[in-house]
Each structure stands twice: as structure tokens, then as C-alpha cells.
Amino acid sequence: MTAIDFHRALVFPNRIRKFRKQLNIGSLLELSERLSGITYIRLSKIERGEIFARAGELRELGRALGVDPVELLIDVDDPGFDIAVWAAPLHGPMPTDPEGEHGAVLLAAALRARRGGDPALTIAVLESEYGIAPVVLSRIENALKPFDRWNEDVRAALRRLFGAAGDAALTAQIEALHASGALDAVLPLVANPEIRLAKSRARIAALKDELAGAKAGVAVPAPASPAAPGPKPEPVASANLATLRLLPVLGTPLPGGLIAPTPTGAEVEAPRGAGPRAYGLRLGRPTLGAGLPGRATLVVDPDRYPATGGLAVVREGEALRVLSVTADRHGRMLGYSESPDLEVALDTLAPTDVAAVLSAVFE
């Protein structure tokens, strides 16, 4: 299954339509009229699986549909769940343009490799000098649609970036890179459905945690009484209102692809669901190939174990190593590094020495 086939695993799977029909709510507009905090357009996108719902939106939907909001979530690891079957009534049949999908994946890999090989090609530079907005860049690098479906401005920017005279020349150039093996290290980052599933798992788990916290009264601040005298609340009391959490960034490159966990003074935003011991780790060197350049910062959670298709950070003495995770035909979990060329049997390591990577931030 290609990246375009599987991009629907990145959207938020929901059961709104199912419960709406059970209540004989014939149209989405009728449901929208029962909601005060969700516009019709956003509700439509949520039901079609185009965007993730927020925890607050799930709670409001749950009240309108008469169900526990957790019931709106599904388990992508359920043996009975099939992403194609789930998507068909919402999006129609899966795409039937294998050539276009193949080209989109190769373009995504080529662009990742091009950026990984040139530290000057930051997201800001691509926007200011080439006119490729960050959201468009993300969509291209995740192969969300074939090259010929991008508008002329985007195609022109890509031609200029790769130094190609025309669309056909750019396609031929990318095919040649693929044939030469130059994209081999990057392709798994684009077309690996396990990576995409891991993102869905993390998002759903974070929503479940947030919904459970609200139900228990953990994250719901008590309303302030303007007439109540007395001192102001201690700053710690406002922690429940915080929407941004910053993590310290560690990382000094060592020989052999290792990283010393020394503070850099920088900080990185924590994704939802990150544990209390999560931290940022600056790579310093592209030890996993051009798809993960040295300027990337990973968000690492020592309280989570990595999943196949994702990334892991393992401890070697006082140093750390970043590995891509896969499994062999016997189900053994293995970690790989490209530079240096290493294979590590993760199952043989102490669980306390293995941590999951939740996300990556590129400068």
C-alpha cells in the first residue's frame, strides 16, 4: 500500500456517522445545529476524517449523540479494523492511479533527500525563496497527491529547486535518482504505513488520556470567584490551563554515531501525550540517512516502548543512539543505523535502555 493509499490512517477515525444514524439525525446540518462550539464546515471535515477532532469537540459531540466521547474513537489495531473498508463510505474507493501514486512517493523521497543533503534548505528558505508554504511542503513530503495534480506555481517551484527544465525532465530526474539507489534510505520514511499508524495510535492515546482526565476532574480548572477576597492563587494552580509545554533539548555528537545527553540550552514543544520524562534530542549527524538530517530534533519518551516502523533511542553506557525499528519474519524487533552501519536486537536490551521517539522537529 502506497503513502497515498494510506494517508487516511493519519486522519482521525470516528464513528459520528454511525451514531447520527442511530438517532435518526438525517443530515450533518441537523447535528451541527445541536452544537455550539463546532461549525458545520469543521464538523463535516471531522466526519469525513479529514482532520482530527479535539478533546473538547469530542465531548460536545458525545453529549449531542448521547454517547461517551471515547466511543467515538476506534482502535486501529483491532484485527477487525480495515482502513480501506472504513474509508470507502466517506471517501469513495481507494485511488486507482498506481503510476501517479508511485510518482508522488518518489517525489516525496526526492524532496526529503534534497533537503537532507543541504542544511541551507530550511523550511523558512523554501517558503521565502521558492514559495513552497510549510503546509504544502508537508503534503508533498508525505505524498498526498501526484505531481501533476499540484498547481503550476508549486510545480514551477519544484522544477527550480531541482534545476529541471520542465515537468517531464523533473520526473525523469527523480526516476533516475530512484534507479541509482539514492532514495533508498528515504523511501521507508514516506511509504511505511507503520509510521503513519504509529502517529494515529499516539493521537488516539493522547485523546483518550485527555478525555479520561477531564472525566476525573483532573484538567478542568475551577471557575474563579471575582468577589472572593484573599491572595491570588499560587502559580502552580494555573498548570491545568497551560497549553504549551517545553522540553529541554539534549545532544552533543560523539564518535561512532553516538550522542552525549548533554544540555544544549534549547527547548522544543512537547507533543500531546508526551510523558513527564520526555525530552528533546538533537541528532547532530544524519545517522539514519538523508531522510532524518543532523539538524533534526527528536522528542523522546523514556516511558514508552518503540513500535515497528518508528524510531527508538537506546542507551549505550553513558551515551545514546538513534535507530530505525523493524521486525524480522520471526517477530524479533531490530534497530538499524545507517551511519555507522549497525543492527541491534532491541528485544535483548533492558526495557529501561530503550525509549520511543514521538516526533521530529526540523529546523
Q: Are 47 and 14 in contact (CB under 8 A)?
A: yes
Q: Is residue 18 part of a domain?
A: yes
Q: Is residue 237 part of a domain?
A: no
Q: Which three cell numbers stand for residue 216?
A: 476525573
Question: What values do phi and psi take at 95, rounded to 5?
Answer: -55, 145
Q: Which three cell numbers stand for residue 325?
A: 525499528
DSSP label at residue 26: -
Q: Do residues 284 and 323 share a domain? A: yes
Q: Is residue 300 part of a domain?
A: yes
Q: Do residues 144 and 43 share a domain? A: no
Q: Do residues 113 and 76 share a domain? A: no
Q: Do residues 314 and 275 share a domain? A: yes
Q: Do residues 259 and 342 share a domain? A: yes
Predicted local distance difference test score (pLDDT) of residue 165: 94
Most confident by average pLDDT, 55-59, 198-202, 234-238, 282-286:
282-286
Q: Do residues 146 and 87 share a domain? A: no
CB within 8 Å of 129: residues ≥ 6 apart:
none
- Per-residue pLDDT tens over the stretch 99-117: 888 888 899 999 988 988 8
- Per-residue pLDDT tens over the stretch 148-201: 889 999 999 999 999 999 999 999 999 999 999 888 878 877 755 565 566 667
Predicted local distance difference test score (pLDDT) of residue 363: 65
Q: Do residues 146 and 78 share a domain? A: no
Higher pLDDT, 58 or 227: 58
CB within 8 Å of 200: residues ≥ 6 apart:
9, 10, 12, 13, 76
| H-helix or E-strand spanning residue 345 | strand 342-345
Predicted local distance difference test score (pLDDT) of residue 216: 54
- Per-residue pLDDT tens over the stretch 247-266: 999 999 999 899 999 998 88
**Between the CA of residue 109 and those of 3, 174, 229, what are the distances in Å?**
11, 9, 61
Predicted local distance difference test score (pLDDT) of residue 168: 94
**Between the CA of residue 338 and those of 172, 175, 289, 300, what are the distances in Å?**
27, 23, 6, 20
Domain CATH for 309: 2.10.109.10
Question: What would the mean pLDDT of 199-205 be, rounded to a whole number?
Answer: 71
Chain centroid to Cα 338, Å, comes to: 22
Q: Which of 62, 91, 120 delimits the end of a domain?
A: 91
Question: What would the mean pLDDT of 121-135 be, rounded to a whole number?
Answer: 86
Predicted local distance difference test score (pLDDT) of residue 288: 85
Q: Is residue 208 part of a domain?
A: no
pLDDT at position 243 over 60: no
Predicted local distance difference test score (pLDDT) of residue 240: 38
Chain centroid to Cα 312, Å, comes to: 15
Distance CA 344, CA 303 (A): 20
Q: Is residue 224 part of a domain?
A: no
Q: Domain count of the chain?
A: 3
The pTM of the full predicted model, rounded to 2 decimals, is 0.41
Mean pLDDT of the chain: 78
Distance CA 298, CA 327 (A): 22
Predicted local distance difference test score (pLDDT) of residue 259: 94
Predicted local distance difference test score (pLDDT) of residue 242: 42
Distance CA 280, CA 273 (A): 14
Q: Which of 69, 91, 113 delimits the end of a domain?
A: 91
Q: Are 33 and 20 in contact (CB under 8 A)?
A: no
Q: Which three cell numbers stand for residue 117?
A: 543533503
Q: Which of 72, 91, 110 delimits the end of a domain?
A: 91
Q: Do residues 111 and 56 share a domain? A: no
Predicted local distance difference test score (pLDDT) of residue 252: 92
Predicted local distance difference test score (pLDDT) of residue 222: 38
Higher pLDDT, 361 or 244: 361
pLDDT at position 208 over 90: no
Picking from 351, 271, 355, the residue whose alpha carbon sits closest to that of residue 313 is 355
pLDDT at position 55 over 70: yes
Q: Is residue 120 part of a domain?
A: yes
Q: Do residues 69 and 106 share a domain? A: no
pLDDT at position 82 over 90: no
Q: Which domain holds residue 18?
A: 3-91
Question: What would the mean pLDDT of 8-18 be, rounded to a whole number?
Answer: 53
Predicted local distance difference test score (pLDDT) of residue 6: 37
| H-helix or E-strand spanning residue 52 | none
Predicted local distance difference test score (pLDDT) of residue 314: 95
Distance CA 305, CA 10 (A): 21
Confidence of residue 225 (pLDDT cuts 50, 70, 90): very low
Query: Comparing 18-27, 248-257, 290-299, 348-357, which segment has the lowest mean pLDDT?
Result: 18-27
Predicted local distance difference test score (pLDDT) of residue 262: 92
pLDDT at position 45 over 80: no
pLDDT at position 228 over 70: no
Q: Do residues 261 and 344 share a domain? A: yes
* Residue 6 Rama label (left phi>0; alpha psi -120 to 50; beta): alpha
Q: Do residues 69 and 126 share a domain? A: no
Q: Which amino acid is at 2?
A: T
Distance CA 161, CA 336 (A): 31
Confidence of residue 143 (pLDDT cuts 50, 70, 90): confident
Picking from 360, 340, 355, the residue whose alpha carbon sits closest to that of residue 307 is 355
Q: Do residues 55 and 141 share a domain? A: no
